[in-house]
Amino acid sequence: MNLNERLENGKLLPLKDKPNNVSTQTDHDDKRMEPFPYRGSKEESKKRIKSILESMNNIVIKNENDQMVYAIATSSFFKFKDDIDFLFSDEEQVIHYRSASRVGYSDMGVNKKRMNTIRELYMEEI
């Protein structure tokens, strides 16, 4: 997959009008989350994100480039897939992200919970 397809006008894809997605780059107050600050350089921050994703059950990194990491989370029981994008902004020194279910309407807060877990792991002292 071409990672440029995961962007629109240099930002992460807009969210659908459903409660099963979250992003740092949305106008929907109920779906907006705060980006992660860089922890050291972009390369160090990216390495940290990748390490966290690789340690989590049911998440597979599908593609990456200098600016992005794209992963897919698969639910244990129903095998639903969620797309997870990380966009590294050197200008802002933050990592923007988007986590969205591919199907269904509600995810019972799974995407938000997952991103809060990743935030906690990312912000832990090494």
DSSP codes, 77-125: TT--EEEEEEEEETTTTEEEEEEEESSSS--TTHHHHHHHHHHHHHHS-
**Would the pLDDT of 126 be above 80?**
no
State the CB neighbour count (10 A cutoff) for residue 76: 8
Model pTM score: 0.95
pLDDT for the residue 72: 98
Q: What is the pLDDT of residues 64-108, one digit of tens each?
A: 999 999 999 998 888 899 999 999 999 999 999 999 999 999 899
**16-74 residue pLDDT tens:** 999 999 999 999 999 999 999 999 999 999 999 999 999 999 999 999 999 999 999 99
Q: Find the domain containing 93 and state its range.
A: 3-123
Instruction: Identify the pLDDT of residue 45.
Output: 98
Q: What is the CATH number of the domain that holds 25?
A: 3.30.310
Rounded to whole angstroms, the Cα distance separating 112 from 22 reads: 6
CB 84 within 8 A of CB 71: yes
As a dihedral over the C-alpha atoms of residue 94, residue 89, residue 70, residue 21, rounded to 10 degrees, the angle is 60
Specify the number of domains making up the chain: 1
